[in-house]
Structure 1
């Protein structure tokens, strides 16, 4: 038996039986007996929730993405609505060539019921157009909860026109969860592809045959190191990645007040009238309010303790300050990629936002 012909059904990596310490290892007896074959890493994730971080080279996955341009296929980009800018693939239109792009905006189950979905969809379309992308359609869905999956399936079938379907996205956008949900809805199959909250679960392309001889291809998640979710350890990741509908936390701030988001980021409200700041972060993340004048001392005393995650602040780069001026013309969101966002009021103001160096901190028109 030539083991190089076999790939893990969970992550797509080529299987090997020689070295248990290397990726793709599977015992010989498992390779010979099972209809579905999973490498040791996938087996431990699926059965014991053990997560081992993988050192990834982002350029390798981008090269795999470039191969799509030479195919005739429908490309489905899955984006994470909780971290939209951080889950966008930069230059996606250049990677996929002339193939049509269907945009699936995932994790709508995290948003409050009061969300104006039509407005959100138009915001997504405008954002994509500004980046040079014109999707054939935009579908709002939740792979985890199965919301609007039937609409997503119908759209994929409509726009693929008998072609292969490539599912692309950044790590943690929900690509593999989406495919598992589609397989359950269409064929009644239990989860086949390994999923976990830790970046880099899918290691190589996974090809799922369709009845017409074509296939759905799950691709490895594109790594973006400008998100906090790429930096924290698995235990801390469970705290910052929301699993349920967000409970917005409202703070009426005066000048010279600070909000700490665990020990991962900080917002100083420097100048401006008293106004509301609504925090959309994981319900499990501790948010602490204090005064700007005492914030440095408070951080030094409590970082990694009361102000956690992270349990070990040394695992992250040092903080960098981002000066943000609120225009007072419209409501704005301050986004800390991988952590969430703060919806600001309409008043003019000046903020300092502190986050680990290299983490994306941006503003946008309010989406809620």
Structure 2
């Protein structure tokens, strides 16, 4: 295709302001400027193909535009140049390209919302098609509302194309690793969950964040779920919990059950407690087997929980497993996963596999046996590699709980069906796309290109529901950058510090512990994200230290200037007395939860007396502070000797291999 100068300039300007210089427009511009980049030794790598629209991304500006034009379209001035080159000898063309280059690089102009979000059009009605990533209904009316797509793109999409589309927020998260701060309201989430739980016979999966157990179970949950309704409690993020002994998972599970009782679920119909990591896949296959054997096709399954508990990640893991109907698991849209709470706006769902189909379950069991044999062999090899290396024994590669979530190949060919059903091969006629039995039954062999839930009227569905915010969590006050810092992404190596009666410990600017009174010094074992700083100061200097360093890199969190800090609740305190009834010699006496920050284990330093201390604990608005029995009692395994002239201990990565499951 050939362009004159004016057509080229108008085309570039229009494409930029409507769609931004990325995606399809970036690919087209790249094809125009590729030869110029080679000619001037400047690198320009094309982006991978993205969906139909994206947002503005600055691209390198070329020095020369190189094109091949037909002879009848080339001006006399251009004919004097070398064939195929339009150099910057034409002042008019040079000025236009420089003007476009400035626009692409954002030089000399203020941020224009239309160049970022596209053009809204309130005259077009909201569609009935939900976003495949978050569940919000797609529209082009307002870019501050959930489910928004620019009108330039929305008008061109058909209903079938909308079913494969995602809203602008999900698109940014998936392809640009950026976040638009639009969140679902807590009232909206509660309304949806109340409707579905009151209507249908169903199984409830309650997802709990093991990093913040009791705060992940809001006080309205016992009233929201009827006592007769079966519940499977899922403790997620077990991969970040450090192991203090080979049997630590049993202690974690006991803590989850005890916390459920404290939160009012003691008389509810809890059928199972599963510890998993949706991120690493640990325990997910075992959870799938539990759901298929215990519940099967008795009704729909609804997954509920607080925001940032990992529900969307678990939804994607189950969607890409045997739990999803094998014919559509490769075509259903994945849920959008983000550090921002409230990503899922409405329910997302997929049909589950029919557990009554014996040959499918037999093929799955065989695949699991083969996988377990491979895992056992790998476990033995890992043990041999780490036996003589302390560094490898402490490596997260070997100590982190992992598990592969695989898909069984349910191809309906003659060999597999005869093997798992016992049918005679002569009873089948084989065509190109279908398998037909002698009784007239047909089995479609090809995978579906598109997914329509109306084609599965007799199936049971798995639902991912919007997360709700607990009043005890501080997540709603934090920005995306702060949420990334506060959320651990790998196994925690806790900080160990010595707290004396005249000391104060700051856990970033969001947590504080003062020693009020007691019979001995105590050790604090602090389980927080490794990205967060810990400081110990004199109690008399604590206020000055906090006021001086809040909002700076010294305390780390919260981030921002004075106006941003004023929006956060001030630090408020609760006094907690630790006086355990049982012997706590050489073990932790109690855990103190600090809302979404993590938790702190308290251990006494004297062998001759039991711990009896009172601590003053601070969080924003005193949210999420509670006392519980220690989950990881052997706190001494996490520290080495004390650092000279400080109250901090050298941290010790536990060299305990997790026992094999």
TM-score by length of 2: 0.53
Check the 8 A contact 1:257/1:270 in 2, yes or no. Answer: no
Report deviation, 1:30: 4.6
More displaced 10-residue stretch of structure 1: 88-97 or 222-231: 88-97
Check the 8 A contact 1:206/1:217 in 2, yes or no. Answer: yes
5 Å-filtered alignment, 1:270-289, equals: 270-272=516-518, 273-289=520-536
Q: Residue 112 of structure 1 aligns with which residue?
A: 242
> Distance between the aligned counterparts of 2:269 and 2:628, measured in 1?
20
Gaps of 5+ in 1: none
Ranked by relative contact order (alpha carbons within 8 Å, sequence separation 6 or more), the top structure is 1
Report deviation, 1:281: 0.4
Check the 8 A contact 1:170/1:223 in 2, yes or no. Answer: yes
5 Å-filtered alignment, 1:303-322, equals: 303-305=550-552, 306-312=554-560, 313-322=565-574
Gaps of 5+ in 2: 1-123, 355-458, 583-588, 605-610, 633-661
> Distance between the aligned counterparts of 1:17 and 1:146, measured in 2?
37
The verdict on how the C-alpha distance between 1:315 and 1:19 changes in structure 2, with shifts beyond 3 A counting, is closer
Q: Residue 341 of structure 1 aligns with which residue?
A: 599
Q: Deviations over 1:35-66 (max 9, x none)?
A: 62211111111111222223543222222222
> Distance between the aligned counterparts of 1:268 and 1:42, measured in 2?
43
Check the 8 A contact 1:264/1:308 in 2, yes or no. Answer: no
Q: 1:183 aligns with which of 319, 323, 326?
A: 319
Q: Deviations over 1:317-337 (max 9, x none)?
A: 111121111114351111111
Secondary structure of 1:12's counterpart equals coil
The verdict on how the C-alpha distance between 1:22 and 1:119 changes in structure 2, with shifts beyond 3 A counting, is closer
Report deviation, 1:189: 4.3
Check the 8 A contact 1:328/1:349 in 2, yes or no. Answer: no
**1:125 and 2:125 equivalent?**
no
**1:72 and 2:201 equivalent?**
yes
Report deviation, 1:207: 2.0
Q: Residue 236 of structure 1 aligns with which residue?
A: 482
Q: Which has the higher strand share?
A: 1
> Distance between the aligned counterparts of 2:512 and 2:496, measured in 1?
16
Q: Residue 87 of structure 1 aligns with which residue?
A: 216
More displaced 10-residue stretch of structure 1: 107-116 or 4-13: 107-116
Check the 8 A contact 2:125/2:139 in 1, yes or no. Answer: no
Check the 8 A contact 1:128/1:134 in 2, yes or no. Answer: no
Secondary structure of 1:207's counterpart equals strand
Secondary structure of 2:320's counterpart equals helix
Check the 8 A contact 2:574/2:622 in 1, yes or no. Answer: no
> Distance between the aligned counterparts of 2:352 and 2:236, measured in 1?
23
Secondary structure of 1:317's counterpart equals coil
Report deviation, 1:223: 1.3
